[in-house]
Amino acid sequence: LAKTTQPISMDSYEGQEVNITCSHNNIATNDYITWYQQFPSQGPRFIIQGYKTKVTNEVASLFIPADRKSSTLSLPRVSLSDTAVYYCLVGDAARQLTFGSGTQLTVLP
Amino acid sequence: DADVTQTPRNRITKTGKRIMLECSQTKGHDRMYWYRQDPGLGLRLIYYSFDVKDINKGEISDGYSVSRQAQAKFSLSLESAIPNQTALYFCATSRSGRASEQFFGPGTRLTVL
């Protein structure tokens, strides 16, 4: 099972770009990288998923270097409502079932 | 209407009682999961089911059992509740296939006294 390492917490200000990096040194060939967002007392919500290079959707971008041993979630111009816990998961199908402790992002006014 | 529903949303019970948490989904997904979350921690997998006839233990299955009554329903039981099972419980679903996105229910807050 690929282990992931993320910062425990990060602070940012409204309007700034936030980058959260996740390390996954033992990622397997078939593994995907997926990020979820969780607000207090709610279930996690899917943000973005990628396999290699760069993926972008309407809320975030995911940067994955060629060796795939890390990934960076980029949130453009954060707002107070982006304050949440962000989880990085690595795996495929049944193996992508470990959430870890996540990164608490606090957006300040 | 919510795609993934959980009942009850809150439950307080006593040590030794049998408790059932229910999960229903209207997404038509084959895969369903049960997680628990303790304060300040991430989610830990209890059981998962890839179809009605396929049920698998997760990281922390001791003290729990599950039943997949139909594609849309997946129940979690605590045979004899104990205080350290006090937690927030989430049900999730996903399509079949590699690395499919999971959709979570609103959670059940369980307190065991």
* Helix, strand or coil, per DSSP, at residue A51: coil
Residues in chain B predicted with pLDDT less than 70, given as ranges, are 1
Local mean pLDDT, 10-residue blocks, chain A (109 residues): 86 97 90 93 93 94 96 96 95 71 95
Residue A93 contacts B, CB cutoff 8 Å = yes
Q: Tell me the three state secondary structure of residue B101.
A: coil
Residue in A31, A46, A98 closest to B102 by CB = A46
One-letter amino acid for residue A90 of the chain: V
Q: Give B72→chain A minimum CA distance, Å.
A: 18
Q: Sheet with B73-78: list strands edge to edge.
A: B4-7, B19-25, B73-78, B64-70
- Test B98 with A100 for CB contact under 8 angstroms: no
Count of C-beta atoms within a 10 Å radius of residue B5:
15
CA-closest candidate to residue A107, choices A17, A6, A26, A35: A17
Contact B99 A96 (CB under 8 A): yes
pLDDT of residue A100: 79
Q: What is the pLDDT of residue B79?
A: 92
Q: Say whether residue A95 is in contact with chain B using an 8 A CB cutoff.
A: no
B88 touches B104 (CB < 8 A): no
Strands (E), chain B: 4-7, 10-13, 19-25, 31-37, 43-51, 54-57, 64-70, 73-78, 87-94, 103-104, 108-112
Q: Is the dihedral of CA B96, B103, A51, B50 positive or negative?
A: negative
Q: Give residue B98's pLDDT.
A: 74
pLDDT number for residue A74: 98
The three-class DSSP label of residue A82 is helix
Tell me whether B10 touches chain A (CB under 8 Å). Answer: no
Q: Give the pLDDT score at A95.
A: 61
CA pseudo-torsion sign A50, A52, A55, A61: positive
Amino acid (1-letter code) at residue A72: T
The pLDDT value given to residue A75: 97
Closest among A33, A100, A88, A44 to B103, alpha carbons compared: A44
Query: In 3D, which of A71, A55, A56 has the Cα closest to residue A5?
Result: A71
The SS3 assignment for B93 reads: strand
